[in-house]
């Protein structure tokens, strides 16, 4: 492989990970079918590359979407692994192929960690500018620094790996200490716990604390979508009771934990109306840059805030109000982006109503967004990455394995049309239906009770996210001996309460953020250091 070929392949790999792929990176350009076709063209064997990529793509469909987002880099396996297979004449079913992709999985975890950690730092940088009401710099952080760092941690390593021979790559991967992988994963989980704790600091008011714990308990029984429906049912009953009480005492909902930290906007005689062009700009920014600064702490929060930046500039002229808008949209957010556009549209509608005098508290807005986030994320991943992608992969892979390059081409066209259409329709539906829902709630005296329910649902869902995003526990090899019997320490904790460690860690971080002056960025660094130190000690003790 020449230097020029290696550089071009590395550039395609970077593009597949970048924000400039119009939302098609994970769905199209990172898929092995497309990676194999591109690599095959550059190496002079497009049919061979497409056939290998097709086989890998069918295997990749079985991987969990959340694991793909935060785990091994599928695009690295395609753009770096396939060239190794083609140039060395290795078939996908051969044992050496498994070793190759295993080595690349280790490198991919390391690169994903490097990208996610710096983006977590950028999230706090965005917090700094949001406090000053600077929407332009919040959006800029999502674009320039994140993409410069992305180039460094994608192009440079991919180019270096492609210039090595396969045996050298396998040797370097084998030289990595085994405990490093555990340290990387533990860091990701602890940073996610920090992000959830930051959301708890805003949402856990009044009965929101009970809803958070209830969400954690219910997550042992339900998946994310049923969990959201269960929480919504409880919150709706609670809101109905609160509404009845409110008829007798108008201050009931405020007494039950409604935030008073942010003043509600004053009704102005000249309402601000968003133009269709404003909505299009927000949608375009979301489609392109939703994952630009994807981080381990609050995931897509910078992408969401950047999409809301032009809306904040249009609706809020006062710096304090614009700062509050940006701040509340830098909270924890994670959803499949095309269906998640529905939440963006709904949030834009809520901000428009709030700017024009509607009594919508920032806690209620964050709660509504968090409450719907998990269900939409699961539906989107199951629908878009499962039910709709599977037929496209099947058709494209089948044609590619038959030596027909029309397969990859049809895959790109179908996926692009599908993803963009879903994002557009979801955004428009979210904006329009939220406006209608607000009108209905106002006419039927359900606005306060409905927003109260969404706030509690947000706390409920935040608790339910712990098992998915903070799956920390003691290694199964941590064993103590009692009367000649060996008992795993994790089993002892599980007898008291299953999965209590994620709850204890997250609540502990929440308590530190509430009662201590330590900054979140300092906690971020401390958690990373703790993860590596703890993994190293456990390795020395033989517990990893």
In a domain, 121, yes or no: yes
In a domain, 454, yes or no: no
| CA-to-CA separations, 430 to 342, 361, 385, 436, 462, in angstroms, rounded | 4, 19, 21, 10, 21
Q: Of the candidates 349, 265, 364, which has an alpha carbon nearest to the alpha carbon of residue 311?
A: 349
In a domain, 151, yes or no: yes
Please state the domain count of the chain. 1
In whole angstroms, give the CA distance from residue 61 to residue 145: 32
In a domain, 170, yes or no: yes
In a domain, 412, yes or no: no
* Parent domain of 78: 3-181
In a domain, 288, yes or no: no
265-300 core/surface letters (b: 16 or more CB in 10 A; e: else): beeeeeeeebeeebbebbbebbbbbbbbbbbbbbbb
In whole angstroms, give the CA distance from residue 136 to residue 131: 13
| CA-to-CA separations, 208 to 116, 243, 459, 540, in angstroms, rounded | 30, 17, 6, 42
In a domain, 174, yes or no: yes
- For every one of its 544 residues, what pLDDT tens digit does the chain have, with 9 covering 90 and above? 899 999 999 999 999 999 999 999 989 999 999 999 999 999 999 999 999 999 988 887 766 554 455 556 889 999 999 999 999 999 988 999 999 999 999 999 999 999 999 999 999 999 999 999 999 999 999 989 999 999 999 999 999 999 999 999 999 999 989 899 999 999 999 999 999 999 998 888 778 899 999 999 999 988 777 888 899 899 989 888 878 876 666 555 544 444 444 444 444 445 778 999 999 999 999 999 999 999 999 999 999 999 999 999 999 999 999 999 999 999 999 998 999 999 999 999 999 999 998 888 888 889 889 988 877 877 787 778 777 788 888 899 999 989 999 999 999 999 999 999 999 999 999 999 999 999 998 888 888 888 888 889 999 999 999 988 999 998 888 887 776 777 888 888 888 888 899 999 999 999 999 988 888 899 999 999 999 999 999 999 888 7
86's tokens: 């083609």
Look at the pTM and tell me if it is higher than 0.75. Answer: yes
In a domain, 217, yes or no: no
307's tokens: 């999409």
In whole angstroms, give the CA distance from residue 305 to residue 230: 28
């Amino acid at each position: 492989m020449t230097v020029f070929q290696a550089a071009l392949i590395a550039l395609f790999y970077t593009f597949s990970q970048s924000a400039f792929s119009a939302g098609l990176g994970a769905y199209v350009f990172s898929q092995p079918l497309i990676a194999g076709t591109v690599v095959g063209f550059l190496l002079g064997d497009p049919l061979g590359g497409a056939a290998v990529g097709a086989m890998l793509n069918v295997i990749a469909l079985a991987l969990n979407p959340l694991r793909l987002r935060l785990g091994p880099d599928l695009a690295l396996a395609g753009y770096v692994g396939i060239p190794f297979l083609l140039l060395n004449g290795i078939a996908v079913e051969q044992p050496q192929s498994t070793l190759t992709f295993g080595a690349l999985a280790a490198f991919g975890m390391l690169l994903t960690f490097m990208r996610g950690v710096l983006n977590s730092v950028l999230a706090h940088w965005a917090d700094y500018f949001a406090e000053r009401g600077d929407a332009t710099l919040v959006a800029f952080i999502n674009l320039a620094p994140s993409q410069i760092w992305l180039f460094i941690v994608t192009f440079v390593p991919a180019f270096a790996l492609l210039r090595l021979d396969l045996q050298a790559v396998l040797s370097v991967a084998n030289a990595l200490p085994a405990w490093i992988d555990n340290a990387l994963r533990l860091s990701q989980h602890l940073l996610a716990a920090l992000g959830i704790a930051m959301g708890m600091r805003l949402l856990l008011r009044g009965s929101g604390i009970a809803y958070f714990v209830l969400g954690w308990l219910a997550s042992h029984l339900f998946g994310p979508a049923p969990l959201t429906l269960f929480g919504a049912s409880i919150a709706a009953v609670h809101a109905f009771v609160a509404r009845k009480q409110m008829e007798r005492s108008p201050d009931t909902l405020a007494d039950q934990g409604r935030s008073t930290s942010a003043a509600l906007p004053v009704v102005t005689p000249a309402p601000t109306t968003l133009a269709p062009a404003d909505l299009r700009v927000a949608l375009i920014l979301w489609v392109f840059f939703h994952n630009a600064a994807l981080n381990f702490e609050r995931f897509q929060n910078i992408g969401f805030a950047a999409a809301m930046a032009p809306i904040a500039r249009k609706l809020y002229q006062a710096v304090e109000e614009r700062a509050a808008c940006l701040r509340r949209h830098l909270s924890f957010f994670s959803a499949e982006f095309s269906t998640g556009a529905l939440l963006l549209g709904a949030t834009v509608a809520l901000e428009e109503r709030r700017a024009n005098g509607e009594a919508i508290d920032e806690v209620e807005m964050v709660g509504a967004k968090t409450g719907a986030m998990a269900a939409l994320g699961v539906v989107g991943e199951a629908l878009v990455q499962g039910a709709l992608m599977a037929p496209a992969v099947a058709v494209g892979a089948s044609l590619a394995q038959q030596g027909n390059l029309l397969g990859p081409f049809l895959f790109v066209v179908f996926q692009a049309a599908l993803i963009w259409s879903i994002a557009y329709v979801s955004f428009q539906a979210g904006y329009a239906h939220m406006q209608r829902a607000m009108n209905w709630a106002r006419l039927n005296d359900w606005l306060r009770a409905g927003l109260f329910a969404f706030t509690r649902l947000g706390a409920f869902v935040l608790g339910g996210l712990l098992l998915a995003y903070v799956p920390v526990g003691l290694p199964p090899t941590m064993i103590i001996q009692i009367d000649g019997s060996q008992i795993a320490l994790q089993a002892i904790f599980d007898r008291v309460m299953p999965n209590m460690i994620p709850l204890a860690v997250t609540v502990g971080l929440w308590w530190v953020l509430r009662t201590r002056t330590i900054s979140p960025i300092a906690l971020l660094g401390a958690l990373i250091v703790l993860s590596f130190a703890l993994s190293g000690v456990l390795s020395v003790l033989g517990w990893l």
